[in-house]
Amino acid sequence: MADTRSPATSFRVRHACGHYEWYPHLVPPDEEARLATPEQVLAAREAALIWKENRPCPTCYYDDAARAILDRMSALGVPAITLPRFTEATEKQRWWAHKIRTAKLLQIEQAFTEMHSRIVIAQQDPARRDRARFAQQMYGQAIVQVVSITQVTYWIDYRATDGWQLVLDAVPPWAKQR
């Protein structure tokens, strides 16, 4: 499908990661309105363009952050997972889903880190060791299940739900009884 955005009304930027992104404005319109001369506007746009060109695109930025979170959780015993690509969505929806997923992963990491410290303590007690190992395994599998969701609509629909709640919802009911 041909891109119908007009170069006169938007800006195409090649980011440091090699991806191209379209921006309706390099400088917010209200900020441009405060600038006194056309030369200042052009200088502000040039500075914003250089800044964007020297950074990864939003998708790569959020994916890199999500991978770092997954690596840290893997060190705590969560099964390693490759960050899946999103399916069937517009460019803007995918970008938004990347941002939401990264925020949810940060919430999951914070809750799981706290949970992991309780699991480590429980594993010291022989009477609680098996249950603690089971909890570690179930939560790890639930995290993998949540991260593996590739539908953009899932992440957008559940953007107001806490990340750890998404994990708890992914734990099978029979595992919660154990």
Q: Tens digit of pLDDT for each residue in 84-127?
A: 888 878 888 988 999 999 999 999 999 999 999 999 999 899 99
Which residues pair with residue 12 across a beta bridge? 22
Residue holding tokens 């955005």?
Answer: 5
Give the tens place of pLDDT for each residue, 17-62: 998 888 888 888 888 888 888 899 889 989 999 999 999 988 889 9
- Give, to the nearest 10 degrees, the angle between helix 91-123 and helix 129-147: 180
- pLDDT classification of 1: cutoffs 50, 70, 90: very low
